[in-house]
Amino acid sequence: MGLGLSLNFGPTATAEEILSLFQLASGGRRTVFVHLRDSGPYESLQEVIADTAISGASLHIEHVNTFLVNTPVALRLIDGARGHGLDITTEALPYTAASMFIDSGVFEPGWQQRLHIGYADLQWPGTTVGLNPESFERYRKQGGRVFAFLNTEEMVRAAVTHPHVMIASDGILENGLGHPRSAGTYARILGRYVREEKALSLMDAVRKCSLEPARRLEPICPQMRAKGRLRAGADADISVFDPVRVIDRATYEKPAEYSEGFRYVLVNGTFVVRDGKLQDDVAPGEAIRAK
């Protein structure tokens, strides 16, 4: 489908290496999906925008509200690049905490300055308190994912309400543990930002969660032309929800809690949720592949 670069987890990658990968993706007419180097200065964002212009590749910046301190400024940079014809898109996660591997390069010495957070802003899954130097070192040796509260609600709202920003879940749950975005992202958008805060219209929210991601992938994967739409001939991937009741229930302590308000969910025309209940022993999904 494309080329994924997690530059924040591999901070020793050189500018030359990254540009060569953009050129590789451009030659294969694939999109580059990038985790920026860190959430600090804007050099990382400017670097990948320049690589896009030089190589002719298309670029998708992952989680624009997670890896940059000032999301509105980042959005202005992206808007400026798009305005000059560069094929750049981005998406946001509607949460103030990211989920990172504590044993990765992100947390090499100096992480506090790069991420603009401290030990107390880190929370281990299944716990309710922040880390300290002792627990940080213990978990770093153990390895695994940690929550990093490096965002603000103002930055989240700026991202999810921007007209060109899609909504993403980046969901991973393992044995019931993980980030609440895995179970709650889309219900959170529909319940909190649409109904409660009226920061988004219902149709804008649905577009950001379905049609826009499909459009982004259509040039790579013709299958996506049948996604994100309700029309004859499209794949019957349908969620039926009550806009008055829909809300997320997943938390950092209980990340696998089901959302409320979803009555029916169909994948390829097969019920996977019916009358609000998960259907067992059905797996109608199909792999999405590049042409």
Report residue 263 as tokens: 């009555």
Low-confidence ranges of the chain (pLDDT < 70): 39-41
* HSE (side-chain half, CA atoms, 13 Å) at 178: 16
pLDDT digits (tens, 9 = 90+) for 222-250: 999 999 999 999 999 999 999 999 999 99
Q: Give the pLDDT score at 116.
A: 87
Q: Give the pLDDT score at 128.
A: 87
pLDDT digits (tens, 9 = 90+) for 126-162: 888 899 999 999 999 999 999 999 889 999 999 999 9
How far is 209 from 167, CA to CA, in rounded Å? 5
Name which of 44, 16, 33 is nearest 114 in CA terms.
Answer: 44
Q: Give the pLDDT score at 11.
A: 80
Q: What are phi and psi of 20, to 5 degrees?
A: -65, -35
DSSP annotation string for 144-188: -EEEEE---HHHHHHHHTSTTEEE-----EETTEE-THHHHHHHH
Q: Give the pLDDT score at 197.
A: 97
